[in-house]
Amino acid sequence: MIFVVVGLVSLMVLCFGKCLPRVNRAVMLEGLYYLTIMNFQSLNLIDPILKALSEKGYTAPTPIQQQSIPILLDGHDLLGCAQTGTGKTASFAIPILQKIATDPLQKKKAGKIKALIVTPTRELAIQIGESFTDYGKFTGLTNTVIFGGVGQNPQVKILKRGVDILIGTPGRLLDLMNQGFISLKDLEYFTLDEADHMLEMGFIHDIEKIIAKLPPKRQSLFFSATMPPNIAKLAHTILDNPKRVTIEPEKPTAERVQQAIYFVSKSNKIKLLTHILETAPCEAVLVFSRTKHGANKIVKLLSRSGLTAEAIHGNKSQTARQKALENFKSGRTKVLIATDIAARGIDVSELELVINYDLPNVPETYVHRIGRTGRAKASGMALSFCDQTEKPLLRDIQRLIKQDIPLITVHPFAEEKSDRPLRPKRVAKRR
């Protein structure tokens, strides 16, 4: 019935669209999009997975899930280009779980690694592992997560007992493969997630070594937020005649997130941060520091003002990082101070506020940072502190996002002569 209604509405838009003001046509088309949203039952998912999704409160799949799940259930390789926060993990976890669970030979192959997901950071690997556990709750399938920074013995014990699905970071994965604790001879599904970040972090050679160990007959999935030539070349070495799914955000992150900038001296940044945290009604605030030392210092200075915060960065033990992340996700800790690499994989529902204590050196990193809030269709707020030395960085950011970030001039620690936003410099055209 819904498809009949959708067809009629489509016809109306086509026939009468020219008679409607542009804004009304947009509203009609947006309404048409929502009419066509399917539910998970329409994706032919098995009851154990539907039950798990229902328990999580999931009803309608996101666009990437709508497109990817049928492709993967049909057995095609997939090249996915999608930003974080689009529901990407479920788009590959659900079909992998279903295909393994419905394999007639699954009982004979129980405990052998049939799916491998490789991801750049420990935090993201843990998050993906949690998703597989949640969605596969009633399938009887097992998964585990492996990563460096902790002792390998507990991970090895689990691997020896046998798992169906393995999620890991490249370094520890190669270590355990070389030691003979991981066999990929029964592998049927391979996923490379956040490939662009993988290359940024220098994992290309590790990835090439892992790919060389994969069985030639497999279903492969490749996800990246961007698709420059070097990423496309890597995808070509992994995938066989893939289907492509590209999900454009409804609005660029920079438009979806409310942004503001404070001009403030370096010495007054901690005072401004304390003031905001004491007056903002937010339940969860993610603060970005450019350095590990800076993150620790912010935690120490906030504690002197009676504010509890935790830091997450590469020098922290994995146990400490995971505990801090769990405290933040559960609401036990309101403020988390993070460096950029450590923040990869942080996915906190309804994160209201991101604060850039230091502006990043790379403009694209700013977009990644503020993208921690304003996920999917939600809105969020990002506040940034800019001292005199960081104004060139601000100019680069504004040039990248093609907009001026609104300047908050009235605050207790405002710098003098900072009453106008910094505009990107115009580059003279050559004639």
Rounded Cα distance, 225 and 314, in Å: 23
Element (H, E) at 254: helix 253-256
CATH topology of domain 43-247: Rossmann fold (3.40.50)
Domain residue ranges of the chain, discontinuous segments joined by +: 2-36, 43-247, 253-401
pLDDT of 218-267, one tens digit each? Answer: 999 999 987 888 888 999 999 999 999 998 754 555 567 899 999 999 99
pLDDT of 26-52, one tens digit each? Answer: 333 333 333 344 689 899 999 999 999
Structure tokens given for 191? 């996923």
Question: Which band of pLDDT confidence, cut at 50, 70 and 90, is reported for residue 423?
Answer: low
Q: Are 182 and 176 in contact, with CB atoms under 8 Å apart?
A: yes
Q: What is the average per-residue pLDDT within 418-426?
A: 47
The CATH class of the 253-401 domain is: alpha beta
* Distances, alpha carbon 357 to alpha carbons 64, 258, 286, 384, 390, in Å: 33, 17, 10, 6, 11
What 3-state class would DSSP assign to 180?
A: coil
Rounded Cα distance, 344 and 125, in Å: 10
Q: Are 381 and 257 in contact, with CB atoms under 8 Å apart?
A: yes
Q: Are 400 and 366 in contact, with CB atoms under 8 Å apart?
A: yes
- Averaged pLDDT of the chain: 83
What 3-state class would DSSP assign to 285?
A: strand
Q: What pLDDT, on a 0 to 100 scale, did the predictor assign at position 358?
A: 96
pLDDT of 102-161, one tens digit each? Answer: 999 888 888 899 999 999 988 889 989 999 999 999 999 999 999 998 899 999 999 999
Rounded Cα distance, 257 and 253, in Å: 6
Q: What pLDDT, on a 0 to 100 scale, did the predictor assign at position 121?
A: 87
DSSP string, 324-353: HHHHHHHTS-SEEEE-HHHHTT---TT--E
Q: What is the average per-residue pLDDT within 260-284?
A: 92
Q: What pLDDT, on a 0 to 100 scale, did the predictor assign at position 107?
A: 84
Bridge partner residues of 356 (DSSP): 288, 384
Q: What pLDDT, on a 0 to 100 scale, did the predictor assign at position 337?
A: 95
Question: Which band of pLDDT confidence, cut at 50, 70 and 90, is reported for residue 300?
Answer: very high
Question: Which band of pLDDT confidence, cut at 50, 70 and 90, is reported for residue 347?
Answer: low
Q: What is the average per-residue pLDDT within 264-273?
A: 95
Question: Which band of pLDDT confidence, cut at 50, 70 and 90, is reported for residue 6?
Answer: very low
DSSP string, 55-108: HTT--S--HHHHHHHHHHHTT--EEEEE-TTSSHHHHHHHHHHHHHHT-TTHHH
Rounded Cα distance, 402 and 344, in Å: 25
Strand order in the sheet with 335-338: 257-263, 380-386, 353-356, 285-288, 335-338, 309-312
Bridge partner residues of 286 (DSSP): 336, 354
Residue 428 has pLDDT above 90, yes or no: no
What phi and psi values does residue 79 have, to the nearest 5 degrees? -110, 110
Question: Which band of pLDDT confidence, cut at 50, 70 and 90, is reported for residue 318?
Answer: confident
Q: What pLDDT, on a 0 to 100 scale, did the predictor assign at position 226?
A: 79
Question: Which band of pLDDT confidence, cut at 50, 70 and 90, is reported for residue 410?
Answer: confident
Longest dimension (CA), the chain: 73
Q: What pLDDT, on a 0 to 100 scale, did the predictor assign at position 8?
A: 36
Rounded Cα distance, 91 and 67, in Å: 8
Residue 424 has pLDDT above 60, yes or no: no
In this structure, what DSSP letter does residue 361 have?
S
Q: Is 117 exposed, middle or buried (0-12, 13-18, 19+ CB in 10 A)?
A: buried
- Look at 67-81, 253-267, 335-349 and tell me which has the smallest mean pLDDT: 335-349
In this structure, what DSSP letter does residue 42 have?
G
Q: What pLDDT, on a 0 to 100 scale, did the predictor assign at position 31?
A: 38
DSSP string, 373-395: SS-TT--EEEEEEE-GGGHHHHH
The closest of 234, 179, 203, 228 to 121, measured between CA atoms, is 203
Q: What is the average per-residue pLDDT within 179-188?
A: 96
In this structure, what DSSP letter does residue 43 have?
G
